[in-house]
Structure 1
Amino acid sequence: MSERLLGIYEKLVLRHPLAAIIFIILLAVGMAFGLPNFKLDASADSLTLEHDTSLDYFRETLQHYGSSDFLVVTYTPNEGDLFDDASLNTLAQMSDELKTISGVANVTSILDVPLLYSPKVTVSQLKEEPRTLRNPDTDRDLARKEFLESPIYRKLILSPDGQTTALMATMELDRQYLTLVRQRDSLRLKRDTEGLTAEEEVELERVSKEFLDYRTARAVEEHQRVAEIREKMAQFKDRAQIFLGGPSMITADMIEFIKSDLRVFGTGIVLFIIATLAIIFRQIRWVVLPLLTCVLSVEIMLGYLSWIDWRLTVISSNFVALLLIITLALTIHLIVRYRELQTDNPEQSQLELVRGTVSYMARPCLYTVLTTGVAFVSLVVSDIRPVIDFGWMMTMGIALALTLAFIVIPAGMMLIGKGKNNDKGDNSAAYTMIFARFTENHGKLVLTLALLAGVISCWGISQLQVENRFIDYFRSDTEIYQGLSVIDEKLGGTTPLDIILDAPPVPPMPTVTEDDPFAEEDPFAADDPFAADDPFASDDPFGDESPTSNDDKPNSYWFTGVGLQDLSKIHNYLDSLPEVGKVSSLVTIADVAEDLMEHKLNDLELAFVRRSLSPENAALLFDPYIDDELNQARITLRIKETGSELKRPELLANIRSYIVDEVGLQDDQVHFTSLLVLYNNMLQSLFRSQILTLGAVFLGIMVMFMVLFRSISISLIAMLPNMLAATVVLGGMGLARIPLDMMTITIAAITVGIGVDNSIHYITRFKREFAVDRDYLAAMHRAHGSIGRALFYTAITIIVGFSILSLSNFIPSVYFGLLTGLAMLTALLGSMTLLPKLILIFKPLGK
């Protein structure tokens, strides 16, 4: 720090410490008023790419095919058979309870779906109100067989053992939400590509605010709805085994897990920091001051984020713990240096000691913050808004941590006074000197181990995957895991995938009109060959009257012989894939209709089959799989995440390849959509934008090192341990089969940030020790005995403190805690062994 800046700092902080502390406290109090507005966001928007065309297409399909938000309640009776009166009565009560909940559009269960084979109906009966299990004369054994074997319900509504079923509560489609979000996103896209006019800027700000407020209110309603459903279903748990699943419940549970981690583990880490500081320094002042600084940094940042309504997401939820790390590291470095000066210069006044501490530590601490900021700014290049936000939050947080550390700690020192110095019986120097002696006596072994670790880690990095099972985000004893397992293994899979097929550009198929020659004469009359062959029809199988519900719908290309032939190929291929559970499409109703009529249907018969459906049958069998307006067919399938190694990109690529190469559709006719596609896009973007930009991050840090050390050789030496630390952590993830996901991807930036801090502090101290006698070996031992202690303190506190996260119910938080500990351990070993050995070998400071 220059003399001029030091003079200004001394005047503002050191000579007026009480005023400086009061200013910080007043700032914290002001920020605290924003904390009631603090929010967590685990919505689907927080897990998707910005400007992802798949996201806009997904929202468009929702408006054509209905809501994608649903909640599944699995039901297995504790006693008796599922089709007993008692079990079905309980199921009916559960269904009735779900229907009373606000926001639930409809509830579907085995009690409500149309039965076509219990007993087998004729085609003419399809226009009538369907039979269901609620009809008292329904043959339940036939119904069970239909649920297990029918192409409509097989692998969907009843487990293979016939004892587990599910109720699906479909939520009302929120069209206002879709309208607002599409308005906002279209303006954002124009802003980032073409630029906005002044009026459009105002409109974007207005729409963004309106959408955020609406989404906030909607999130509260969804959370309350899930809680209400849980409460209503709890009253039946004495009669049945019940689990919940679905996007709404997953979102609600993720928020609860994150809140629990922030509350429980945040408190645990703070308590551990207190215990660690007490053991290390054995003076209450060196516990209170660092703790006060850490708490203030977190409180001020959270208050600021709350004031501007900048929300923590699943990805940025560990922002609090990381900010505690960085703030604690800065305070420990200041305290260790102060205690060294007090030991070496006991006769100096408190002002001289504190001024010396600040002057000595300002430059290395500033550069550690700047280089750490470079690492976190690398996250900003991501296309995922929560990752971008996390990068900016950490960059702002570490700048605040530096400011508070150099105000609260020195001002606190001035207020408390010198006090008694007990920096004598500390055993930490003994531990750090072990590293020094090991580096001196076994230097070749250090280099060999580093090289071996690098080679193994590089191989591990080649094994890294960005693929993971969403179910693995949760512990196996949680309700969300158990519910997803039951749905996945017994009820057709968990993750939805929709395939939308555009019809080829061919002339439209003829439709039945008043001018149609067939309109005057019923083609299914008694003298028609089809009618004669139909054993189920004594006369017109479609009845004397044509149904009115579908009269205005022309027959789509996809519900013709040619279209169904293509759909059937795709349907059967999807059904053969081990990753795929239940597949539903127009092929299902065509198969059922042909089975009912006992012969293959021509296009005209297919048209009449559709026109003959009652509204209830059409809503279940037809409407979800076709859009006449767009001439599209929709195939819905559910992906099984348990029991197979799911690789989403390969699965999507193989399906597209089959449809294009084997079926013959054009590539632009095939569209994939649903949460699986959006989540896959996010994972692939993470890999491209983060792993592949690490080189640019290291280049930026190299430039920072050049400015700080003014030496190419020292900068290169400082980079090697950091590159090794990042390689070891990423390679360790590959070897342990820990996938890169929305949280673990940030470990690379964290590792680089931590390692860079250690390198800067160690080399800065080494240079100063070397200037004493120009003896490399002696300088290394003195650096280990001084700055090495601060690095050791920080590492041990972080490693053990973050291990607390291993108890979380949210597996990404577990990985985050363990990987952060590994990053800290690797950075410590690199800075205490490899870094000094490289300095001893290359002697970058001269002879």
Structure 2
Amino acid sequence: MKLFSIFSQAVRRQPVAIIALVLLLFFLAMELSQQVEYAQGFDTYFSKEHKEYKQYKLFTKDFGTSIASAYVFVKGDDVVNYETFEYMLKLGDVLSTIDGVGEIKSPAHSIVNRLGYLPQDEKTLESYAYKLAQFYIPKRSFALMEIEITASQDKYNVIAKEIERKLQLVPKPTGVVVEATGNPLVRYQVNQAISGSMKSMGMAAVLLMVVILGLVFRGVVSQKRFLMLPLVISVFTAVMAYGLMPVLGIPLTEVTNAFFPVLIGLSIEYAAQFQSRFEEEMRKGRSAFDAAEKAIFSVGTALSLAMITTVIGFLSMVFSGVPSLSWFGFLSAIGLIIAYLLSLTFLPAVLVLLSGRVGEVKEKKAKNLETFARGVARRSNLVLILTVVLVTAGFYGYSNVGIQTDFYKYIPQDLPAIRKMNELKSLVGSQDRVILVMETDGVDMDTIEKFDAMCRYVASSEPQVTDYSNIATLLSMYGMPKNDYQLENVLDRLPDVQKKKYVSGGELAAYFTVAPMDWLEFKDLYERVKEEINFYGLGQGYYLTGDVVLKMFVADLIINGQNKMTLASYALVFLLLLFVYRSFSKAVVPLLPITTVIAVVGGVMYLLGINRTLVSASLNSLTIGLGIDFSIHIMERYLEERRMGMSPEDAVAITVSNTGRAIITSGLTMAGGFAAMMVSPFPIMRDFGFVSVISIIFSLIAALTVVPAFLVFIESLRAKRMQQQ
């Protein structure tokens, strides 16, 4: 190919210039990496065109709330007393000065809103507290303050810092402990965890690569000073890709932070394949320049196909419809292209400059691999039968793998804000709310009464709806108006932050609190609530929104996204292989072991109880993109040996004993990159890293068994046909 000629000529004529250019780009990337921004939450899960997400954003715009709350825990031996309630009022006044903070609720605020003052008599205070705000006092030693957040999500970090700071400003009663949690504080702590996670995963990946290269690649490299060169290539690749993030406008999220260890593991494959062939040519007595040129042309096609198919696997994540997955796939694809270019330019340039003359080196035969390969070739029918059995059993498990849509389960469970959120749930139960937004001709008493009646009907019809509130709920706290004139007067007196929660122009909002349930149960409830609203026939139009509604649609994204990504990966890779080889059988061969692996890994996930998540939904396309590399390298070398006149069995033996060592190194280092995710504090990353390692190991085994077995099986069929003719 002309491209390989360009690479080899550049390495022969300008090796120093290539090295200098790469070093310059590396240091530039390190500087750019300081400008990387962070993002998380629904904005990273839904595209801007997603219907339900647009409704969610419309609600936050119209009603001036982000449907998020921060919470303050007030703990003590007995918090139902005048001194503690007075403290909550003072704390509320201080917190309300924070930009982006709306209404503040607490048992003390509920009493003042009804009476206009805080009773000093302890019995009167206690009576009103349990009558008006029982929810905010789940037990005498615990009171809850709820802080509604009206700012957009990009302000959450600032708000979280301010809440924590202002909690220290108001003197607390003796024996009272105050703690904060809620969405803004969770997001703030998650951002800090993301940065730490990437650093820990990166360090773990590098350490694993050192160990794996030292154990496996040592048998390939004759000059031990070059043993870690593939790791140098992978680190350069990961840093360069990271430096491109601010240029491309890609933020660091709980999903994209995984690309760093992944690229470290994946990039080594290309470098290891090239360096392995370079060493093989050097052992034949070639000069360093000639060995590099021969290696570029020999492995260039396989590396190119492997790179393109892997890039297809990553780019297929665009079909998921999830921005964070699309960013992860796009960034990883760019990183692989960088690794490919470095492996065929920078690596050979370093090798030809530093190799010099090499003395006689005895070629190390991989006897165990050769014996194994001949066994596979002779028992190809048995290998294929076992493959069919594994695929059948695996697909049963694959179809029954569960789905995790609770975002709080995706993030570190030991974060202080998360521990407090779990404590809150254990005390007061679910705070999942379905928000109904309905258009009306105008807000008058007749409309409000009918709207409240409909909400009451929905709540009474559905046992899983535990509570509800709307504008009528708020009005009843100030004395329900008798007519439109009184309504107008009451609405004028209501604080804007309270009123806007329920009324926006001609729209009314109602909040239904629902019991904890999985996404399938909630999907049934969601559909039933829509049917009941339609049956009641009030309003010109409506929509349902809220965090729990979006979580349900995340499950749809996981299922539909996985199917789209898988089909796109299969189709694009098959068409590419068909175009390159002009042979249906050669296009199918690399896909056979991958199909086996997808089924087997699904079965393993089912047996171990590992659920699908937004990240692991990409596993099939990643398996196709990553695992097919091994199959292509095996098939390419096999076809090369067959063209040289080797028998099918000898071709398999030579392929596995030579190329097999390189792909075992590649597979183990690739697995090491994903295994580094298992040190992440994010459960979503740990599970993904674990199943990815299993996928890679099975892909490696399948490439060394299923591919040779199928190639020999095809050859035997052709031989029988020729004999019959």
Task: Verify same fold: TM over 0.5.
Answer: yes
**Structure 2 counterparts to residues 416-435 of structure 1, below 5 A:** 416-418=354-356, 429=366, 432-433=369-370, 435=372
Q: Give how far 1:698 is off.
A: 1.1
The aligned counterpart of 1:527 is none
Query: Which secondary structure does the structure 2 equivalent of 1:312 belong to?
Result: coil
- CA deviations on 1:751-783 (whole Å, 9 max, x unpaired) are 111111111101001112233443212221221
Query: Which secondary structure does the structure 1 equivalent of 2:108 belong to?
Result: coil
The aligned counterpart of 2:297 is 359
Q: Give how far 1:609 is off.
A: 6.9
Q: Check conservation: 1:107, 1:169, Cα contact below 8 A.
A: yes
The aligned counterpart of 2:161 is 227
Q: Check conservation: 1:50, 1:383, Cα contact below 8 A.
A: no
Q: Give how far 1:89 is off.
A: 6.0
The aligned counterpart of 2:405 is 468
Q: Give how far 1:482 is off.
A: 1.8
Q: Give how far 1:590 is off.
A: 7.8
Q: Check conservation: 1:435, 1:832, Cα contact below 8 A.
A: no
Q: Is 1:584–2:479 an aligned residue pair?
A: no
Q: Check conservation: 1:722, 1:756, Cα contact below 8 A.
A: yes
Residue 238 to residue 780, structure 1, CA distance change in 2 (3 Å): farther
Q: Check conservation: 2:69, 2:147, Cα contact below 8 A.
A: yes
The aligned counterpart of 2:143 is 165
The aligned counterpart of 1:651 is 525
Q: Check conservation: 1:705, 1:715, Cα contact below 8 A.
A: yes
- CA deviations on 1:165-213 (whole Å, 9 max, x unpaired) are 3222233446xxxxxxxxxxxxxxxxxxxxxxxxxxxxxxxxxxxxxxx
Which of the numbers 595, 598, 605 marks the counterpart of 2:482? 605
Residue 431 to residue 489, structure 1, CA distance change in 2 (3 Å): farther
Residue 646 to residue 139, structure 1, CA distance change in 2 (3 Å): farther
The aligned counterpart of 1:530 is none
Query: Which secondary structure does the structure 2 equivalent of 1:167 belong to?
Result: strand
Q: Check conservation: 1:315, 1:390, Cα contact below 8 A.
A: yes
The aligned counterpart of 1:381 is 319
The aligned counterpart of 1:699 is 571
- CA deviations on 1:318-367 (whole Å, 9 max, x unpaired) are 22222222211101111222222233x1x321122222211111010001
Residue 556 to residue 52, structure 1, CA distance change in 2 (3 Å): farther
Q: Give how far 1:297 is off.
A: 1.3
Q: Whole-Å Cα distance in 2 between the matches of residues 49 and 639 of structure 1?
A: 26
The aligned counterpart of 1:832 is 704
- What letter corresponds to residue 624 of structure 1 in structure 2? K
The aligned counterpart of 2:455 is 567
Q: Check conservation: 1:69, 1:247, Cα contact below 8 A.
A: no
Query: Which secondary structure does the structure 2 equivalent of 1:624 belong to?
Result: coil
**Structure 2 counterparts to residues 317-356 of structure 1, below 5 A:** 317-343=257-283, 345=284, 347-356=285-294
Q: Check conservation: 1:274, 1:287, Cα contact below 8 A.
A: no
Q: Give how far 1:37 is off.
A: 1.4
Unaligned runs of 5+ in 1: 117-125, 148-152, 175-217, 509-553
Residue 419 to residue 86, structure 1, CA distance change in 2 (3 Å): farther
Q: Check conservation: 2:436, 2:542, Cα contact below 8 A.
A: yes
Q: Whole-Å Cα distance in 1 between the matches of residues 240 and 173 of structure 2?
A: 45
Which of the numbers 78, 81, 101 marks the counterpart of 2:78? 81
Q: Whole-Å Cα distance in 2 between the matches of residues 419 and 679 of structure 1?
A: 63
Q: Whole-Å Cα distance in 1 between the matches of residues 544 and 187 of structure 2?
A: 23
The aligned counterpart of 1:404 is 342
Q: Give how far 1:828 is off.
A: 0.8
Q: Check conservation: 1:82, 1:162, Cα contact below 8 A.
A: yes
- What letter corresponds to residue 529 of structure 2 in structure 1? I
Q: Whole-Å Cα distance in 1 between the matches of residues 363 and 432 of structure 2?
A: 59
**Structure 2 counterparts to residues 356-755 of structure 1, below 5 A:** 356-418=294-356, 429=366, 432-433=369-370, 435-436=372-373, 439-440=376-377, 443=380, 445-503=382-440, 555-560=444-449, 562-574=450-462, 576-577=463-464, 580=465, 582-586=467-471, 588=473, 605=482, 610=487, 613=490, 624-627=501-504, 629-630=505-506, 632-641=507-516, 647-661=521-535, 663-665=536-538, 669-755=541-627
Q: Check conservation: 1:226, 1:248, Cα contact below 8 A.
A: yes
- What letter corresponds to residue 584 of structure 1 in structure 2? S
Residue 242 to residue 357, structure 1, CA distance change in 2 (3 Å): farther
Q: Whole-Å Cα distance in 1 between the matches of residues 602 and 707 of structure 2?
A: 20
Q: Give how far 1:12 is off.
A: 1.3
Q: Whole-Å Cα distance in 2 between the matches of residues 242 and 426 of structure 1?
A: 68
Query: Which secondary structure does the structure 1 equivalent of 2:681 belong to?
Result: coil
- CA deviations on 1:137-176 (whole Å, 9 max, x unpaired) are 77233134215xxxxx45x4232x34433222233446xx
The aligned counterpart of 2:656 is 784
Residue 85 to residue 592, structure 1, CA distance change in 2 (3 Å): closer
Q: Give how far 1:818 is off.
A: 1.0
Q: Is 1:289–2:260 an aligned residue pair?
A: no
Q: Check conservation: 2:82, 2:125, Cα contact below 8 A.
A: no
Q: Check conservation: 2:101, 2:147, Cα contact below 8 A.
A: yes
Q: Whole-Å Cα distance in 2 between the matches of residues 458 and 421 of structure 1?
A: 53
Q: Give how far 1:106 is off.
A: 4.6
Q: Check conservation: 1:351, 1:414, Cα contact below 8 A.
A: yes
Q: Whole-Å Cα distance in 1 between the matches of residues 532 and 397 of structure 2?
A: 33
Q: Whole-Å Cα distance in 1 between the matches of residues 231 and 575 of structure 2?
A: 34
Q: Give how far 1:454 is off.
A: 1.4
Q: Whole-Å Cα distance in 2 between the matches of residues 829 and 146 of structure 1?
A: 67
- What letter corresponds to residue 288 of structure 2 in structure 1? Q
- CA deviations on 1:22-79 (whole Å, 9 max, x unpaired) are 11112223333322212222254222223123333333333432222544234252x4
- What letter corresponds to residue 62 of structure 2 in structure 1? H
Q: Whole-Å Cα distance in 1 between the matches of residues 508 and 242 of structure 2?
A: 48
Q: Whole-Å Cα distance in 1 between the matches of residues 267 and 196 of structure 2?
A: 23
Q: Check conservation: 1:354, 1:414, Cα contact below 8 A.
A: yes
Residue 410 to residue 237, structure 1, CA distance change in 2 (3 Å): farther
Residue 489 to residue 434, structure 1, CA distance change in 2 (3 Å): farther
Structure with a larger share of its residues in helix: 2
Q: Whole-Å Cα distance in 1 between the matches of residues 360 and 685 of structure 2?
A: 38
Q: Is 1:270–2:147 an aligned residue pair?
A: no
Q: Is 1:145–2:130 an aligned residue pair?
A: yes
Q: Whole-Å Cα distance in 1 between the matches of residues 91 and 675 of structure 2?
A: 42
Residue 256 to residue 425, structure 1, CA distance change in 2 (3 Å): farther
Which range moved further: 727-736 or 301-310? Answer: 727-736
Unaligned runs of 5+ in 2: 720-725
- What letter corresponds to residue 569 of structure 2 in structure 1? V
Query: Which secondary structure does the structure 2 equivalent of 1:80 belong to?
Result: coil
The aligned counterpart of 2:185 is 249
Q: Give how far 1:809 is off.
A: 2.0
The aligned counterpart of 1:40 is 38
Q: Whole-Å Cα distance in 2 between the matches of residues 683 and 349 of structure 1?
A: 58
Q: Whole-Å Cα distance in 2 between the matches of residues 773 and 62 of structure 1?
A: 71
The aligned counterpart of 2:722 is none
Q: Check conservation: 1:74, 1:243, Cα contact below 8 A.
A: yes
Query: Which secondary structure does the structure 2 equivalent of 1:111 belong to?
Result: helix
Q: Highest Rg: 1 or 2? A: 1
Residue 88 to residue 768, structure 1, CA distance change in 2 (3 Å): same
Residue 5 to residue 415, structure 1, CA distance change in 2 (3 Å): same
Query: Which secondary structure does the structure 2 equivalent of 1:168 belong to?
Result: strand
Q: Check conservation: 1:158, 1:491, Cα contact below 8 A.
A: no
Q: Whole-Å Cα distance in 1 between the matches of residues 444 and 64 of structure 2?
A: 21
Query: Which secondary structure does the structure 1 equivalent of 2:192 belong to?
Result: helix
Query: Which secondary structure does the structure 2 equivalent of 1:276 belong to?
Result: helix
Q: Give how far 1:821 is off.
A: 0.6
Identity %: 17
Q: Is 1:261–2:197 an aligned residue pair?
A: yes
Query: Which secondary structure does the structure 1 equivalent of 2:434 belong to?
Result: strand
Residue 172 to residue 700, structure 1, CA distance change in 2 (3 Å): closer
